[in-house]
Structure 1
Amino acid sequence: MATATLLLPARSRFPATPLPEDVARALGRAERNSVEPGERAQLQRHFQLQPAQWPVAALTRQFDVGDAADGVWLRADPANVVPDMHGARMMGHGDTLRPDAEDVAHLLPALQPLFAGFGFVLDAPVPSRWYLRLPRGTLLPAFAAPDDVLGDDLFAHLPEGDAGRRWRALLTEAQVVLHQHDWNQHRVAAGKRAINSLWFWGGGEPPQSVHTAHAQVRSREALLQALAKAAGVQADGDQQVDALVDLRQLRSLDQLGNDAIRPLLSALQRGELRRLVLDFEDGMRFELEKGQRWRFWKKPLQLHDA
């Protein structure tokens, strides 16, 4: 019998409404524990990389193109920045800006000479994922993931120190090029946000190996698909295997309770599933098994009460 693991958003993303009674009862009887919160920590619970780094750019590059070996990679994703009284805020990046091939065709040639002078190659095999290939041995500072920057003060997340100086300067120069580009007027006229900045993140070399305990990974998200591919596990097929199911897009407790958890609780009771694990991004984990139904003295538990 298999284990199903649901990869879920932080519980704060759900409204404070009640779960179905049978689901709340199952959560109350489940084993639960708290682990390290955050998106990266959540994914690292399921994928082990050697060396133990987190080179998102190299992973997704290999998934997108298949040429990441023997290179140092950095994501340089399209972004939208809006000035405010205290500086500037990132209001969109990557997929949220709905970039397309025309955006790449107009904007990338204007940016490529800026990076070529440093020996960096900029390209965009996917309109929402732009890459810099860097010379071997390039030392990179710590970069913030765009989801951590979104809506916040941009300057609070810029790479620090001497190692970050070059990248702060390149970001400023790229913003000047993009701000002056006529194509952004076309995007704004079409009701889209301007692509007036880049965001550098996810740098590093491809890992030597990626391992996971799951036999199957189901996700539409590029990084998770890239990790699954690197680990050599299937993306679909036989459901009677240990599977990791990415439901981080859920925002409705009705969908979580009725559509996601309830059918799996039924599978537990029928003996078709050995265990169900709910892994939330805020670090709360529930482990549910058939034998827990005898814990009738345990009170039902709502999601936000755990």
Structure 2
Amino acid sequence: MHCHLLVPDLFWPGREFREIYRGLDAPALVRLVSKGRRRQAQTASLETWLCEQFSVERQQDWPVAPYSLLADGGEPGRHHWFRADPVHLKLEGGRLVLADSSTFSISQQEAESLSDSLNAHFSADSLTFYPLRPDRWYLRSETAPALETTELAAAAGRSIDTLLPRGGDAQIWRTRLNEVQMLLHGHAVNEERVNAGKVPINSVWLWGGGKLSDAVSAPFDAVRSRNPFAAGLAQAARLAARDLPDSAADWLRASASEGVNLIVLDRLRGAAQYGDAHGWREGMQQLERDWFAPLLEALRQERIGMLSLHALGPEGAFSAEVTRGDLRRFWRRVKPLADYA
């Protein structure tokens, strides 16, 4: 059995922050990286990596929306879709900084009330919002606009000044986003949220626009993930798509004969986006305990034949392929984890 382990933000963004690795106990991860056959990669985004693996071509964006819509139970058809996720924009030092739904809660009832108001306002423009999940909304457009957007993961925790939609139709859509913000600002749902001490949902973030591709394929037999985009791609490729188990031990018990598996571990993503060093270190320790150490032992026992570790980050990426034989290569010196960042 071959396990592909995809881990966004496995290394802290910024090579100069070596202190964050001090005292971080991750011997299994260090051994896998040091003994593996490493190669650098240019792909740093989770969404880009998944599209490339599933042979999905870039449209104006990587078409995240129609595939995550599929995983959320929607029917993309041949329409053009955007993700239009609810966000909170906060003024910090004269800049608007984006917080995504990982930093606040929103109910399905709130999501539907807000989107109903947006749909009433934009009905003449043939735009329809679908809040299929409280924190994942979709926007259907009857036409494909000349618009390039920024992935939500790249905008979370950052100023949006340079991240707004670009392209020939950008001005139209920026105007529409301003209308969204004005409509949400005085909405009864947000008044109730503010009175309850919660942050208002004062905008949506458009990203991942596109249509379903004609054909999707991948070198995997099964996908384990809590990421809706990965799940939707697996569904489109007619692969076994299952929820991520709590640990490698649980996965090994359930997947003894599933050939080539892709496992997406995005536990570290939110902490890295928001500069939460403590949360990132805690996440690393959890991954070491529940995934890296058991998978290293499974390699030693030949319960899996190969582990391919794919580390993604804003400053680059690499892959490391490890077999049981690689673990015995004594000339591949074990270095501190920070040296591989």
The TM-score with structure 1 as length reference comes to 0.90
How far apart are the structure 1 equivalents of 2:125 and 2:241?
38
Q: Where does residue 70 of structure 1 map in the other structure?
A: 78
Q: 1:45 to 1:270 in 2, by over 3 A?
A: farther
Superposed displacement of residue 159, structure 1: 1.6
Q: Tell whether the 8 Å contact from 2:148 to 2:167 is kept in structure 1 after alignment.
A: no
What residue identity is the alignment partner of 2:119? Q
Residue 242 (1) aligns with residue 247 (2) = no
Q: Which runs of 5+ in 2 are unaligned?
A: 14-19, 243-253, 269-279
After superposition, residues 105-184 of structure 1 pair within 5 angstroms as 105-135=112-142, 137-184=143-190
Letter in 1 for 2:115: L
Q: In structure 2, give the amino acid aligned to 1:295.
A: R
- Checking the alignment, whether the CA contact within 8 Å between 2:65 and 2:82 is kept in structure 1 is yes
CA distance in 2, matches of 1:169, 1:265: 52
The 8 Å contact of residues 27 and 301 in structure 1, kept in 2 or not, is answered as no
**Does 1:275 find its partner at 2:283?**
no
Q: Any stretches of 5+ residues in structure 1 without a counterpart?
A: none
What residue number does 1:294 align with?
328
Q: Percent identity?
A: 28
RMSD: 2.2
Superposed displacement of residue 176, structure 1 = 0.5
1: CA distance, partners of 2:298 / 2:104? 40
Aligned residues: 303
Counterpart for residue 58 of structure 1: 66
For 2:92, the equivalent position in structure 1 comes to 84
Give the AA of the match of 2:327: R
CA displacement, residues 72-127 of structure 1 (integer Å, 9 cap, x when unaligned): 1112211111123433111x224543221221233222211222121112221222
Given candidates 64, 79, 100, the residue that maps to 2:107 is 100
Asked if the contact 2:146/2:167 (under 8 Å) is kept, the reply is no
User: How far did 1:21 drift?
Assistant: 4.3
Aligned-partner Cα distance in 1 for 2:102–2:287: 24
Which whole-Å CA distance do the structure 2 matches of 1:138 and 1:259 have between them?
43
- Deviation of 1:278 (Å): 1.0
Q: Deviations over 1:195-215 (max 9, x none)?
A: 011111111111112211111
Are the aligned partners of 1:115 and 1:122 in contact in 2 as well (CA < 8 Å)?
A: no
Alignment CA distance shift 1:301-1:55 (3 Å): same
**2: CA distance, partners of 1:45 / 1:204:** 15
Distance (whole Å) between structure 2 residues aligned to residue 281 and residue 69 of structure 1:
31
Find the counterpart in structure 1 of residue 246 from structure 2: none
Secondary structure (helix, strand or coil) at the match of 1:158 reads coil
Change over 3 Å in CA distance of 1:94–1:230 after alignment to 2: farther
| Separation in 1, partners of 2:9, 2:131 | 31
**Cα shift at 1:279:** 0.7
Q: TM-score, normalised by structure 2?
A: 0.81
